Structures are given as C-alpha cells and as structure tokens.
Amino acid sequence: MQFEKTIRNGTLVTDSETRTGDLGIVDGRIAAIADRLPVGREDIDAAGLLVMPGGIDSHCHVEQISSNGLMTADDFHSATVSAAFGGTTTIVPFAAQHRGMSLPKVVADYHACAGPKAIIDYGFHLIVADPDEQALRRDLPALIAQGYTSFKVYMTYDMLKLDDYQILEVLDLARRHGALVMVHAENHDMIRWIAKRLLANGHTAPKFHAVSHDPLAESEATSRVIQLSRLLDTPVLIVHVSGIGAAAAIRAAQVLGAPVYAETCPQYLFLTAGDSDRPGLEGAMFCCSPPPRDEQSQEAIWQGLANGTFQVFSSDHAPYRFDESGKLPKGDQTTFKEMANGVPGLELRLPLLFSEGVGKDRLTLNQFVALTATNHARIYGLDHCKGTIAIGQDADLALWDPERRSTITAAAIHDNVGYTPYEGRTIVGWPITVLSRGRTVVRDGQLLAEKGSGMFIARRSPGPFRVERKPNERFRLFSSLVARPPEPAAG
C-alpha cells in the first residue's frame, strides 16, 4: 500500500496503550499501524516525540452572544487556529438559544458563522433556554436525529435559567431520544441573595464575584440536579466543576451507580479566588462562573481527575477582551455583577494539563489522552471517527515534544482575547506538529490550514446511551405510571 503520509519512529499513546511504532495515512484516515512501515509520499520523522490523538474540547464558547448581549472575542477562525496550536483538532462549542429564538434558526446561524472560517473539525451542542412545546415536541427531536446529540441547560443567570420542572422536561426528552444533558449547576437564588447585599454595602470589586458564587451554591445545585437525573434514570453531565462539595456529590452518586458524569477545567487547577483580588478592575480577568476556589479545592479537583470522578477536561473557553466590549461594559464603573463571566483557555488546556499533570506524575500519559480526547469522543458520540489512534479513525494527531520548555505570554497565544490568566507560567511539553484528517495544520509554529477547511461532524447517540444499563426497579414502576403520550414524528 502506498501511504499518502507516514509518521514514523514515534511513541504512540492512546488511553490504554503506549508503544513505539509507525502510522500510515490514506484519505485522511489511519490506514496502518505497525512497528515499521515504508516511507509514504510525505514522511514525518517523530523520533523523540509523543504521537497522541488530537485533543477534543467539548466545552467552549465561540462567536456567541452572551445573555447580556456581549459577543465573545473569538470567531470560528481565531478560535480554531488557537485550538490547533494547542494540540486540539476538534471543538464542540454551543449553538446558543436565547428566549424566544427558534432552535433550527439558531443552528443555521451558527453554521453560517463556522463553515467559512473553521480550520479544524467541529460539532455543536445546543443551549436550551426556552423549552416550550415547539422545542420539546418537534425541534429538539429533529435536531437530535441530525447529529446534535447534547444540550446544555442552566440553573442560574436570569435570562437562561430553567426551573426544576423545566429541567425534568428536558431530561425526559433526552432519555427518550438518546441525548446527553449538560448542566451548569449553581443555585441562582443563593447567588442573587448574596450579590444584592454585597452591592448594597458598596462591595463592587471583582473579588466579590467569588464571594457571591459561594461554593454551597454549586454543591446544592449539583446535588439537586443529580436527584432530578436519578428520578428519570437519565444520564447527565455536570460541567465546569470547581469545588470540593460538588465533586463529592458527584462521586457519591457514581458510587451508587447513577449515570452521572462530570467535567472540570484549567481554571480550577491553576487559579484561585485570590487571583481576582487585584488593583482596580484587573481581577476581572480571572472571573468566571463558577469561580476558582482555594488550594484545597484545587487538590480535590486533581484527585477527581486521577480517580475517575471527572471523565473530561475541557477549557470552557469564554473569551472576552479586557475592555468595554467584554469584561468591562461600563468601563471603570463596572461592578462584579456587570462584567462578562469567563476566561480564555482553548490553546493552553492541553499544555497546562500535560505539564502539571503528566510532568509531575499526577496523571499517566494514558489518563491524559482519555481526559483530553478519548472520553470526549465516547461521551459525546464522536468515537466513530475521533479520539483515538486506530485503523479507520480520522488522522487527527498531535506530535508532542515532551521536553519543550516555554513561558506563557499573551503575545504568543493565537486567540483574540489580548490577555491570558496564566501569564508568566513556565510549562514543559508542547505539540509541535498537528494534523487534522491527515492535513498538517500546524508545524513548527506555522499555520498551514486555510479558512473553512474544517468540517462539521454530526454526532451519534452519546456513549452513556450505548452502555447496557438496567433501569432500577423504582424507575420501572414510576415510568409505567407517568408515561408521556406519543409524540408526532419529528420534522
């Protein structure tokens, strides 16, 4: 067989195996894996490098208008370029519905943004803010059938939050149609109550954002949505977990056998609430929801990555510039309740975790691959083509120099944010060559991919619905009593 491209002499790493070997690529897919392969028409010598699956970032906000009307700093070109330089070859951002918006139109609008700009492959989650009868009975079933097999709901934010009844309706639909529900779990009224009193007493600085988002707001909402999920025996994934209480609630549910999955992000390993306590409004650059906590919480999150509490490690890239277009909509009069929530992290997600996780023996190489690629593919229905090194899979690959030492600076990052909360941190390990479907998109610091060369990937039923799992007896009885009338055919 004549290979279009070969990668030879590298150390191949998957979630379950580490070995030396060669890869042969044909038509954008891995066609052969062997100890030795003949040189292809193009040959990459990977001696001394780790050859790993390209990362999948299943939680990022790209070219998205927030519920407060603020547009993120990154469009689909700058975001996918930044992702590729950091070793990520697939992103799954959100097609975000706001109240009163048609879900099919939302999806069409996001495709119009992504298609001409993305340089790597992408899918979409849906954000469901208006689960009315049209959405629940027609639009969502039709979109799930078209490959949009996950959606996110919020338990906080005035313009996005759903009440428990609405969440149950969404969970019920997801169970019947095989879609995964992602949940932003914070108690809205706890946050609102604390914030009102802080502002009334003149406490407006960014550091009070973390005070208002008390850890109990996260742990209470996490525990509550777990019980809603268990009521319907429906898989659920808690996103961006930051604190000890929430992690403990998730672990306890998993021990009981509940189908509860969880995600965490770089900000909860590398930032603390103290970072937001800076002169003037500088602390706003470190504010996101939930906020970073303390050193004890960081350690709990590391433990959760190592022991399987967290299946996926995402960036939650929410890029807002440090000016009136983003973080500071009212200039120097902006209070902690008015600034845009979110921190950038798309490009640094993998290098940070590699350096501090693998490099400091907190994680194995195989765990690193699982947390950053393979588990994302399995959980979100991409594993038919993404997330591992195997014959027939897309040749989405990142070749890492495990010894490369670099100091993080905003000037060296390829997003459009203008700052990084990790400025000045020294890390070891970086992807130096990145392939997407066999195309070399980044090599030695040079971008080689054109706008619009990325592809939309329709996703299959998420992995949690493909695992044989017997519903508990309580649910069997319950479901027989409250079965919903049949729905009309989708479309």
pLDDT tens-digit readout, 84-123? 999 999 999 999 999 999 999 999 999 999 999 999 999 9
Question: 220 pLDDT exceeds 90?
Answer: yes
Of 194 and 474, more confident: 194
d(CA 150, CA 468): 19
- In single-letter form, the type of residue at position 398 comes to A
What is the pairing mode between strands 88-96 and 125-127? parallel
pLDDT at res. 358: 98
Q: How many helices (H) and strands (E) does the chain have?
A: 15, 18
Q: pLDDT tier at 482 (50, 70, 90 boundaries)?
A: low
pLDDT of residue 69: 84
**Is pLDDT at 154 greater than 90 in this prediction?**
yes
pLDDT of residue 483: 64
Q: How far is it between the farthest Cα atoms of the chain?
A: 74
Q: What pLDDT is recorded for position 303? A: 98
Q: End-to-end CA distance of the chain, in Å?
A: 45
Cβ–Cβ contacts within 10 Å for residue 418, how many? Answer: 17
Model pLDDT for residues 302-359, shown as the tens digit of each residue = 999 999 999 999 999 999 999 999 999 999 999 999 999 999 999 999 999 999 999 9
Element (H, E) at 168: helix 164-177
Task: Output the pLDDT for position 486.
Answer: 57
pLDDT grade for 423, boundaries at 50, 70 and 90: very high
Q: Are 269 and 301 in contact (CB under 8 A)?
A: yes
Tell me the two tokens of residue 138: 């027609």
Which distant-in-sequence residues (6+ apart) come within 8 Å of 269 by Cβ?
298, 301, 302, 352, 353, 356
Integer CA distances (angstroms), 258 to 227, 236, 313, in order: 9, 9, 20
Q: Which one of 3.40.1370.10, 2.30.40.10, 3.40.1350.10, 3.40.980.10 gives the CATH number of domain 5-52+388-406+422-447?
A: 2.30.40.10
Task: Report whether pLDDT(485) > 70.
Answer: no
Q: Determine the average pLDDT of the residues in 122-147.
A: 98
With b for 16 or more beta-carbon neighbours within 10 A and e for fewer, the 449-487 pattern comes to beeebbbebebbebbbbeeeeeeeeebeeeeeeeeeeee
Show Cβ contacts of residue 418 under 8 Å, excluding neighbours closer than 6 positions: 73, 321, 322, 410
**Rounded mean pLDDT of the chain?**
96
Dig out the tokens for 44 from the structure: 């990459």
Residue 467 is predicted with a pLDDT of 79
**Portion of the chain with pLDDT greater than 90, in percent:** 93
Q: Which residues pair with 456 in a beta bridge?
A: 122
What DSSP designation does 343 have?
A: B
Mean pLDDT check: name the lowest of 63-67, 104-108, 189-193.
63-67
What's the CA gap between 136 and 149, in Å, rounded?
14
Choose among 410, 280, 274, 419: nearest CA to 343.
419
pLDDT at 388 over 70: yes
In whole angstroms, how far apart are CA 86 and each of 89, 302, 314? 9, 21, 13
> Rounded distance, CA 187 to CA 220, Å?
7
HEC profile of 65-82: ECCCCCECCCCHHHHHHH
Average pLDDT value for residue range 232-245: 97
For residue 28, pLDDT beyond 70? yes
Tokens, residue 54:
């390209």
Residue 470: pLDDT band (50, 70, 90) is: low
Question: What would the pLDDT profile of 169-188 be if each residue is shown by its tens digit?
Answer: 999 999 999 999 999 999 99
**For the chain, which residues make up each domain, given as ranges?**
5-52+388-406+422-447, 54-384+458-465
Q: How many CB atoms neighbour CB 254 within 10 A?
A: 18
Q: What is the CATH superfamily name and number for domain 54-384+458-465?
A: Metal-dependent hydrolases (3.20.20.140)
In angstroms, the CA 302 to CA 297 distance is 9
Give the pLDDT band of residue 43 (cuts 50, 70, 90).
Answer: very high
Q: Quick one: tokens of 26?
A: 């044909």
Copy the structure tokens of residue 451: 């706008």
403 token code pair: 């010894």
pLDDT at 70: 87
User: In terms of Cα–Cα distance, which of 432, 471, 442 is closest to 234?
Assistant: 471
| Residues forming a β-bridge with 263 | 312
Calculate what percentage of the chain has a pLDDT beyond 70: 96
Cross-strand pairs, 50: 11, 400
